[in-house]
Chain A
Amino acid sequence: MLTLDHLGVTYDGVPAVRDASLTVPDGSVVAVLGPSGCGKSSLLRAVAGLEPASSGTISWDGVDLAGVPTHRRGFAMMFQDGQLFGHLTVARNVGYALKLRKAPDLTARVAELLSLVGLDGYADRLPATLSGGERQRVALARSLAADPRLLLLDEPLSALDAGLRERLAGDLDRILRESGTTTLVVTHDQEEAFALADRLVVMREGRIVQQGAIGEVWAAPADQETALFLGYARVLDGAAAGAVLRAAGLPPAPAVALRRSALTVARPGDTRAEAGRLTGVVRTSRATPDQVRLVVDVEGIGEVDAVATPGTAAAPGEPVALAVEPARLATIGVPVEH
């Protein structure tokens, strides 16, 4: 188990990570999520031993890792762009750690790993001839070959385009589960975090602002900025929050975060209670292939986002009734139950 205890990392006196504490239990996948520049990469580099900790400790199973150089930590790191060794073939890249350990059956193990990441027959290719997705797969196989106690992933999918990212995220998730590898992944992409992790750690400006099981964090963001970073479209507070929560049939809270699809234009004959509806006037309307995206000026709330199924949309200036989807909003700032 990896434990960070009040970890601090500074560059030339400028703190990049402050007072960060977290644990990565054996066999789990923990994602550190934060915008670029929030210090998550520094945190990962400190865990890898590539940056010294300026305060606090990093320990593995209770053993402090201060002074243990990177190559003795047994933590394999996979970089954002793979960082394959350009002068070595795919097989020699993957076999790099095996060769260091003088592992027996090197060729067979390399073939096995390449097969695991879906790259049979790529052994003799050079990295320069691979696509971005293939390179990341080789980098993953190379990291797994080191048989790491902990796998560190630095934005493993960010360098890839959207379709590929989704496919590789599924593969990565499967491979990590099958091998039971304890993993710490840092990313700025919430989709990536949700696809891979059991636990989520949200970082902002060098500090950990929230952590917990992925569903908990999702359902109850710690604050407004966290909610926006987790992909909520808008945060309402005060009377506006009260009106939305009332319409949703939920208890009052200081603030509420809405996903883009939290409010839907009620179709005529909708069975949901008339009382649960909000009414307003359409300000703008933009059609996308799946839905029509509206901005509606709701009485007593102000401008909010809403969606409508194609065909039911109202034109700007027209009044509409909106139904609230309770599963697509999250309350913020509710005190934890005692």
Chain B
Amino acid sequence: MSAARSGRRTLGLIALAAVPVAVLSVFFVLPVAGMIERGLWPDGRFDPRAVAEVLARPRTHRVLWFTLWTAVAGTVLSVLLGLPAAYVLYRLRFPLRGLVRGLLLVPFVLPTVVVGVAFRQLLRDGGPLGFLGLDGTPTGIVLGLVFFNVAVVIRTVGAAWEGLDPRPAEAAAALGAPPLTVLRTVTLPALRPAIVSSASVVFLFCATAFGVVLTLGGSRYASVETEIYLLTTDFLDLSGAAALSIVQLVVVVGLLVVAGRARAVPDAVVARTTARARRPGRGDVAAVLLTGALLVAVAVPILALVLGSLRAPGGEGWSLASYRALGTRGDGSLVVPVTEALGNSLRTAVDATWMSLGLGLLVAIVVTRRSHSRAERRVRGVLDGFFMLPLGVSAVTLGFGFLITLDRGPLDLRDSPLLVPIAQALVALPLVVRTLIPVLAGIDDRQRQAAASLGAGALRAFTTVDVPVVWRPLLAAAGFAFAVSLGEFGATSFLAREDHPTLPVVIFKLIGRPGAAEYGMALAASVVLAATTAVVLLAVERLRVPALGAW
């Protein structure tokens, strides 16, 4: 290949990458840099003492310790509860299996605020499980985290278990190993990569959980994420928030590296097949019972939420009063009616969707095209790493970064209606990219070469080869982005304007009010938000894009 041609390819690559690079520079690098500057250069001079001072506070120690132990407990419980369910749902055959699988995955797609509200309703005094006295306790928070994350374990480990060759286990049984020994010596070692991978992802989710912890823990039990929010909004301690954000940034990047390593554990020795599921036998009783219990445990908070929303506020009997009140401002607690907030949410989600989709598609194309020269490969490698950066920042730190940097000069976007969608698009970007990359990478480059050899130009080759394969995952990615945006609370809670709130923000506001009517409205609004999200994700599920498993 001539040098000129290779140079042109590299130029084309850079042109294609220009838009995502520019967007990420302004809306990601700048806010994060601003946040670090605020923490480490508090008065324009490098002074790490501010960070050290925040880290030395007893409350910070409590927050860090709380984050760590709830995340560990949430992870351990999720794995312990998820493993038997993964076995039952992906290895056994029974009527309505598809439905049970779907039901157990529901919690993961619920907006975090909705999960929080559902648990409040379940555990509060006078609630169905109020007698347990778990409302506002760390135990309640851990249960909320497990409720949310057990689906990750079921899905990741279940997929691996389903594809696990059954013959090594049969060989062990034929050598005289009883079932539990087979599980311990053959099956679990083979599943280890999937278990470690799902556990590290769950730990990441637990350690960065925001909506669940904020709605259930309030200001009494704060994790690093909620503490950043509380310091910013309640105490106006921006340096403290910046210091904690830096801690969170370091921790999250560290966790991602660990999770990436865990995922990279070679499992090439494990043969992939899809084993015939078998009927449950005598030895499966314990696992089936545990799965049934898990199903009940998952259904109870959701039922509590739905039933609670249908009670007359403060009174007896059933009523749609809470739903009717969604058209009002709830006795002046709200600036806009809930219905308007729903409209805001939907409009914001549309904007966030096209942004993250366009950005994600460009990124995926740039990353997956085969390199033809060493220079090109190097450029592509650098871009690849750059585009993965948003993964390393939690939504809360991103929102906080926006808040403190995008307020001056040409970038004063505080009043722009696009600020919230941009933040949400960045939150959804990793998911979009991860849905598209496996698909684009799966297209054999020789297909494009064949099209080119038949006389198709670059654009024509793209429409012939890529588009037919990509449109379905693209639609799925759009659905994911839309759902993420609808439920997004971490970044939005910092950025949404008082007179232009999204539905999760309004729900959080309502649940903080003392009145029974407002509480009823929070329940009803949560049901509406959950139902909207569920409709979108059901539509996505019908597209049957396999990448759903790669969170």
Interface status of A152 (Cβ within 8 A of chain B): yes
Interface status of B190 (Cβ within 8 A of chain A): yes
Cross-interface CB contact of A146 among B175, B179, B269, B270, cutoff 8 Å: B175
| Interface-side segment among A74-82, A157-165, A195-203, A220-228 | A74-82
Q: Is the interface of A mostly helix, strand, loop or mixed?
A: mixed
Most buried by B among A70, A79, A84, A128: A70
Given contacts A83-B168, A85-B168, A85-B185, contact A152 B174 (CB under 8 A): yes
Interface status of B178 (Cβ within 8 A of chain A): yes
Asked if A100 and B171 sit within 8 Å, CB to CB, the answer is no
Cross-interface CB contact of B176 among A50, A71, A128, cutoff 8 Å: A71
Given contacts A83-B168, A85-B186, A87-B189, contact A48 B174 (CB under 8 A): yes
Give the docked Cα–Cα distance between A282 and B171 (Å): 54
In the complex, what residue of chain A is closest to B174 when comparing beta carbons?
A77
Chain B nearest CB from A154 CB (Å) reads 9
Give the docked Cα–Cα distance between A78 and B186 (Å): 16
CB-CB contacts of A144-157 with B at 8 A, as 1s and 0s?
01100000100000
Give the contacts of A69-115 with B (CB-CB under 8 A).
69-77, 79, 83-87, 96-97, 100-101
Cross-interface CB contact of B185 among A70, A96, A143, cutoff 8 Å: A96
Give the docked Cα–Cα distance between A97 and B168 (Å): 13
Count of A-B residue pairs with CB < 8 Å: 74
Chain B nearest CB from A117 CB (Å) reads 16
**Chain B residues closer than 8 Å to A76, beta-carbon distance:** 174-176
In the complex, what residue of chain B is closest to A77 when comparing beta carbons?
B174
**Chain B residues closer than 8 Å to A72, beta-carbon distance:** 176
Interface residue tally for chain A (C-beta within 8 Å): 29
Chain A nearest CB from B119 CB (Å) reads 40
Give the docked Cα–Cα distance between A288 and B287 (Å): 62
Most buried by A among B170, B173, B174, B181: B174
Chain A nearest CB from B205 CB (Å) reads 28
Given contacts A96-B185, A146-B176, contact A87 B170 (CB under 8 A): no
In the complex, what residue of chain B is closest to A48 when comparing beta carbons?
B174
Interface status of B177 (Cβ within 8 A of chain A): yes
Interface status of A39 (Cβ within 8 A of chain B): no
Give the docked Cα–Cα distance between A69 and B174 (Å): 9
Given contacts A50-B170, A79-B171, contact A127 B269 (CB under 8 A): yes
Chain B nearest CB from A299 CB (Å) reads 55
Interface status of A293 (Cβ within 8 A of chain B): no
Give residues in A with beta carbon < 8 Å to B: 48-50, 69-77, 79, 83-87, 96-97, 100-101, 127-128, 142-143, 145-146, 152
Q: List 19 A-B contacts (CB under 8 A).
A: A48-B170, A48-B174, A69-B179, A70-B174, A71-B178, A72-B176, A76-B175, A76-B176, A77-B174, A85-B171, A86-B269, A87-B189, A87-B190, A96-B177, A96-B185, A100-B176, A127-B269, A145-B175, A146-B175
Across chains A and B, which 3 residue pairs bring their CB atoms closest together, nearest first? A86-B269, A77-B174, A70-B173
Contacts A85-B189, A87-B269, A142-B175 aside, 6 further interface pairs with beta carbons under 8 A come to A48-B170, A71-B173, A71-B182, A79-B171, A87-B190, A143-B174
